[in-house]
Amino acid sequence: MADKPVRADKATAVAELTEYFRNSGATVLTEYRGLTVSQLTQLRRTLGRDTTYEVAKNTLAKRAATDAGIAGLDELFTGPTALTFVSGDVVEAAKGLREFAKANPKLVIKGGVFEGRAITADEVNKLADLESREVLLAKLAGAMKGSLSKAAALFQAPLAQTARLAAALQDKREKEGQA
């Protein structure tokens, strides 16, 4: 009888992790060996509200990843593992993890999942090198605004030329009429 509550807790934990895997845009696996509770709390704050940092048993995390249809992570589930589930901007979360790991070398980025496929620690760092979604959208908006301004000027040019031509013709006719 004592085994049933433990198994129920494990099943609940696997179900919760499976949902995190399914609902996250990306998941980053880290090793946190040697970090204090206050450092982990600081990391959670750094990552923000759209990111969940969960410490999980490797066997449960493996089962949850399999249940969520994610393959290629089995070799990463060694040692003390924490999962960073990102539901917001993946680039910002990757930057936050990398910056925290620079300040706290005991945090090791192992790899993760992005858009349904396994990625290496180097690929996580490449994500961190990208510009944030907001910056990319601002650049796109600026480029579109510039293109629209050029198009507007291009469309207005024939109208302006036609107006000048009509004014010149009218001046010519008035001069011919006076002569």
Q: Which residues pair with 113 in a beta bridge?
A: 27, 118
The pLDDT, as a whole number, for residue 61 is: 93
Per-domain residue ranges of the chain:
3-130, 133-179
The pLDDT, as a whole number, for residue 57 is: 93
Q: Which fold has domain 3-130?
A: Alpha-Beta Plaits (3.30.70)
Q: pTM to 2 decimals?
A: 0.68
The pLDDT, as a whole number, for residue 157 is: 67
| Cβ proximity of 118 and 65 under 8 Å | no
pLDDT in tens, the chain (179 residues): 445 555 888 889 999 999 999 989 899 999 999 999 999 999 999 888 889 999 999 999 999 999 999 888 889 999 999 999 999 888 889 999 999 999 999 999 999 999 888 888 888 888 888 766 666 677 677 777 766 666 666 676 676 777 777 778 788 888 887 76
The pLDDT, as a whole number, for residue 133 is: 63
